[in-house]
Homo-oligomer: A and B are copies of this chain.
């Protein structure tokens, strides 16, 4: 733990000292924003409820130049990014000599437009939530919920980039081919089983050449940081389309990200040992390293919140539906990078990996409505008496995530919000 993690540090940006903020001076996540009437995306750092414009402030770690793009930040070495983090921490700290100068480079987050962190190249969605895989598997195969490959292979598949949007995304309920088991033929209809999935997004910052795998020891150097990711899913479309090549239109209508990329450096105090449960196979050598065993996992609370139109009309805020922890994942972020590249596949800066739905081990900890409603059979009863098996029009889903611990400052990922609009007619 270096000085940037010291929980006693406070900032001259007052809102960063609010114990409830996701963005204290110990966090310093990166994102892109633009000012009203200004078309160009700028790179910024979230601090409290403000964003520091890195195109308007100069730091030695960036050669004393304005930060031109997220791509240039991603192209920096891990040591350069760590140096920038140290400089930002000093500059935003209480008593910093740069406070006066940097105040002019601050904007209220509420006053700017937040965008996707970068141009996303390829997007791969993994399936590391073993409790999710088990619960969903049980719905299809009660006797054999986990397939034989699950504990050996970090299961993943390619996802759709073009429909990835930023927090605040609104999308029309998708239509697709639906075929109920008792129907002879499918028909085109709006999805009746629309769902969310609670995931983390992992941004890649360094490339490997085609044909050259990334070893576990270098894997985290290829990771820029984490966001929240809502992998919206049309379960009925998925059930009919997914054999034999996997999910397609059941996912590609929308995917929502939170705007701030929280670096692995910020999360360093929350790293935890990665251990396989008793009796489970150990990872193959190419998915194993001493560092990964020692601190491959990340202790981060994940939550889903729902606000229905009735709640909104009654002036009620969203209701928390569940919480889980990223330590519930069966594979670490380093393992995802090592596995993805073991066949020679080239990852590139700006690529996005999804963790898969992170559910907890207990009933009530499912990261999707499919799990919480037992496949639509047991409606979830909300505090206001409403029921949900799947999402209804007007529902707003918010994902949240934060690390907190004894003697440590809370590090949050911000919010990932999306709203379901009615199907187009």
Query: How far, in Å, is A239 (CB) from chain B's closest CB?
Result: 10
- Asked if A245 meets B162 with Cβ closer than 8 Å, knowing A252-B343, A343-B252, A344-B253, the reply is no
Task: Tell whether, in the assembled complex, residue B158 and residue A343 are in contact, meaning their CB atoms are under 8 Å apart.
Answer: no
Q: Is A254 an interface residue (CB 8 A)?
A: yes
A234 at the interface (CB under 8 A from B): yes
Confirm or deny: A249 has a beta carbon within 8 angstroms of a beta carbon on chain B: yes
Bound Cα distance A212, B171 (Å): 11
CA distance in complex: A281, B346 (Å): 41
A246 at the interface (CB under 8 A from B): yes
In chain A, positions 258-293 with a C-beta closer than 8 Å to chain B are 281, 284-286
Which residues of the other chain, B, contact A342 by a CB distance below 8 angstroms?
175-176, 188, 249
| Pick from B127, B137, B243, B348: contact of A162, CB under 8 Å | B348
- The distance from the CB of A365 to the nearest CB of chain B, in whole angstroms, is 21
A115 within 8 Å of B by Cβ? Answer: no
What separation, in Å, do the CA atoms of A243 and B150 have in the docked complex? 9
Query: Which parts of A339-356 form the interface with B (CB within 8 Å)?
Result: 339-340, 342-348, 351
Which of these, B147, B285, B346, contacts A244 with CB under 8 Å? B147
- Expressed in whole angstroms, the Cα–Cα distance for A241 and B150 within the complex equals 9
Which residues of B lie under 8 Å from residue A285 when comparing CB positions? Answer: 188
A157 to B, closest residue via Cβ? B245
A246 touches B249 (CB 8 A): no
Which chain B residue shows the least CB distance to A250?
B343
Q: How large is the interface on A (under 10, 10 to 19, 20 to 34, 35 or more residues)?
A: 35 or more
Q: Give Cα A163–Cα B346 distance, bound, in whole angstroms.
A: 6
Chain B residues with Cβ under 8 A from A156's Cβ? 245, 248
Q: Smallest distance from the beta carbon of A286 to chain B beta carbons, Å?
A: 5
- Bound complex: CA of A124 vs CA of B158, how far in Å? 9
In the assembled complex, the Cα of A122 lies from the Cα of B251 at a distance in Å of 14
Residues from chain B with a CB closer than 8 A to the CB of A172 are: 211, 344
Contact of A252 among B147, B158, B248 (CB under 8 A): B158
The answer to the question of A373 belonging to the interface, with a C-beta cut-off of 8 Å to chain B, is: no
- CB contacts (< 8 Å) of A240 on chain B: these are 149, 153
Whether A343 contacts B253 by the Cβ 8 Å rule is yes
With A122-B161, A158-B160, A285-B188 already in contact, the answer to whether A174 and B344 are too (CB < 8 A) is: yes
In the complex, residue of chain B having the shortest beta-carbon distance to the beta carbon of A234: B343
Most chain B CB within 10 A, of A162, A187, A234, A340, is at A162
A180 is an interface residue with CB less than 8 A from chain B: no
Q: How far is the CA of A345 from the CA of B248 in the complex (A)?
A: 10
Judged by a CB distance under 8 angstroms, whether A185 is at the interface is yes
Contact B253 A345 (CB under 8 A): yes
**Given A171-B211, A286-B188: A122 touches B160 (CB 8 Å cut-off):** yes
Instruction: Considering the complex, give the chain B residue whose CB is closest to the CB of A423.
Output: B344
* Chain B proximity of A334: nearest CB distance (Å): 16
Q: Once the chains bind, are B243 and A149 in contact (CB under 8 Å)?
A: yes
* A345, B160: Cβ atoms closer than 8 Å: yes
* Known A177-B152, A246-B246; contact A210-B254, beta-carbon cutoff 8 A: yes
Q: Which chain B positions have C-beta within 8 A of A162?
A: 121-122, 210, 345-348, 351
Cβ contacts A104-127/B at 8 Å (1 or 0 each): 000000000000000001101001
Does A247 touch B at the CB level, under 8 Å?
A: yes
A351-371 residues at the B interface, CB under 8 angstroms: 351
Chain B: minimal CB distance from A125 (Å): 8
Judging by beta carbons under 8 Å apart, are A157 and B348 in contact? no
Contacts of A86 on B, CB cut-off 8 Å? Answer: none
Question: Could you give 30 example pairs across A and B, Cβ below 8 Å?
Answer: A121-B161, A122-B160, A122-B162, A137-B244, A149-B186, A152-B179, A152-B185, A153-B186, A155-B244, A157-B247, A160-B345, A163-B345, A165-B210, A171-B211, A172-B211, A175-B342, A175-B344, A187-B284, A188-B285, A188-B342, A210-B253, A211-B253, A245-B247, A249-B342, A249-B343, A252-B343, A252-B345, A253-B344, A253-B345, A254-B344
Q: Top 4 nearest A-B pairs by Cβ distance? A: A246-B246, A158-B158, A174-B343, A157-B245
